[in-house]
Amino acid sequence: MAGAGAGTPLYVDGHGAILATDLTLESVLGAMRHNPKALWRLPLWIVAGQARAELASRASLDMALLPLNEAALTRIADARAAGRRVVFVTHADAALAGAFADHLGLFDAVIASTAETPLDRCAMREAIAADAALHGGTVFDYLGRDPVLLDAARRGASTDRRHKGETIHRDRPGLREVVKALRVHQWLKNAFLFVPLALTIDRAGVADIAHSIVAFLAFSLVASATYVVNDLLDLQSDRRHASKCLRPLAAGRLSIRQGAGLGLAVFAAGAALAAMLPFAFQALLACYIVVTLSYSIAVKRMLLLDVLTVSGLHTLRIMAGGAALGIEVSYWLLSFSLFFFLSLALAKRYTELAEVGETADRASTGRGYRYVDLETLALMGVCSSFSAVVVLALYIRAPVTLDEVTHPWLMWPICPLMLYALARIWILARRRELQEDPVWFALTDWRSQVTFGLTALIYLVAHVV
């Protein structure tokens, strides 16, 4: 910081200083989450100069959840201990800034945007200079990132070189934060795109394998972009969650602007790869994007529609894998996958609801379920598991199977294997021993891996013998 004495006022910039986020962008995302229907009026608000105020009134931000820079809090505490005047300055709406300042209780005044006087960078500099002139003359201290204000603070400190204009330096997000934000570990779910290739491996060529790999990469990159969008829209709810609060965007280790740029970059890369594949794959990928974004914005809070959508999205992955190869996925496979993934989606909702406990409702979970629905979810999930196995059993004796397999009875062991895998997931869920995402659990648990490996081996043997 720069200054000439204990009475020098300190101006703390909200963006890039005390806050590890941006209040204005937080209000935009909050309004998109809580009142998306009103955003069609955004152009009118911009023309009228009321965009900041209108967005702030619809954002419903919880100030206690916003990520803060501890170093800035230390500087402010030192200044207050010295009896200095501390002012919060921000481009954000005055009502939003005032609510944040009231929550912290560390500031003597707030300089922020109003409908009459919106603060751009130049207006903020003028406002600080005018306020400083009323409280100590032209010399002031500044904590933030504006280069002009930093220079002005440093020049005012020329009589005491121990004090300098200061900014809170944040490390650029490293590869680890980027990987976390893109949820690269979730790419394993997109391995379902290889199912059509595995079922036709006896007649697949090198080109088919290459197409499946490109489809996997394209789908994974686009899916990562949708994960970033989901995290941006869910900032508030993620910060309330015991584990999701550690996500890079929710914790402020990755800024909103950086997250948006990262999402756009991986989406462009995924779209470029998709352009190399058949149109049917591109259409299914576009459908995935639309449904996923709809899910993130609204559907995830809708009773039952959320789990049906999740099940459909996993089934769509299998369809996309077939489209990349130019083959049509069978009705039997789609029916099995729909019930199979519905069971896993219900297990996820069950686990989330059980984790919150008896206080679980729409407000605490962001979902359309209450704690009283716990047993209903378990019943539906177990029924979906058995429905998937029934479809599998019917497929084994279906005419299409009898035409392709000489000894279809060899595939019967697949049924108890699937029953074991799905029933075990539900037993663990009821014991509260299941992690949040059952699909991820099914793909990484060694017992499940052995079960699926034996299933694949039995299927292969039945088609070879």
- pLDDT tens digit at each of 465 positions of the chain: 444 345 788 889 887 788 888 888 888 888 887 777 777 777 887 777 777 777 877 778 888 888 888 888 888 888 888 888 899 999 888 888 899 999 999 999 999 988 788 888 888 888 888 888 887 677 888 888 878 887 777 776 544 433 455 666 566 677 888 999 999 988 988 999 999 988 887 777 889 999 999 999 999 999 999 999 989 988 888 888 778 888 898 888 888 989 999 999 999 999 999 999 999 999 999 999 999 988 887 888 888 999 999 999 999 999 999 999 998 888 899 999 999 999 999 999 999 888 887 776 776 666 778 888 899 999 999 999 999 999 999 998 888 888 887 788 888 999 999 999 999 999 999 998 887 688 888 888 889 999 999 998 998 888 777
d(CA 460, CA 199): 9
At 298, the amino acid letter reads A
Task: State residue 5's pLDDT score.
Answer: 44
- SS percent in the chain: helix, strand, coil, step 5: 70, 5, 25
Exposure string over 290-329, b if 16+ CB within 10 A, otherwise e:
ebbbebbeebbbeeeebbbbbbbbbbbbbbbbbbbbebeb
Count CB atoms within 10 A of the CB of residue 260. Answer: 16
Length of the chain: 465
Q: How many CB atoms lie within 10 A of CB 373?
A: 18
Pair 236, 33: CB distance under 8 Å: yes
Q: Tokens standing for 396?
A: 């084994």
Q: Is the dihedral of CA 348, 351, 352, 358 positive or negative?
A: positive
pTM: 0.82
Per the CB < 8 A criterion, the answer to whether 215 and 197 are in contact is: no
Cα 446 to Cα 82: distance, rounded to the nearest angstrom: 60
On whether the CB atoms of residues 463 and 202 are closer than 8 A, the answer is: yes
Rounded-to-integer distance, Cα 352 and Cα 369, Å: 10
DSSP string covering 256-317: HHHHHHHHHHHHHHHHHHHTTS-HHHHHHHHHHHHHHHHHHHTGGGSTTHHHHHHHHHHHHH
Which has the closest alpha carbon to 319: 345, 290, 288, 343? 288
End-to-end CA distance of the chain: 79
Tokens describing residue 266: 């991986």
CB-based burial, 71-88: b 16+ in 10 Å, e otherwise: ebeebbeebeeeebbbbb
Closest CA to 93 of 72, 110, 76: 110
Chain centroid to Cα 444, Å, comes to 21
* Separation in Å, CA 384 to CA 339, 345, 380, 455: 5, 10, 6, 19
Judge whether 226 and 290 are in contact, CB under 8 Å.
Answer: no
The predicted structure's pLDDT at residue 442: 84
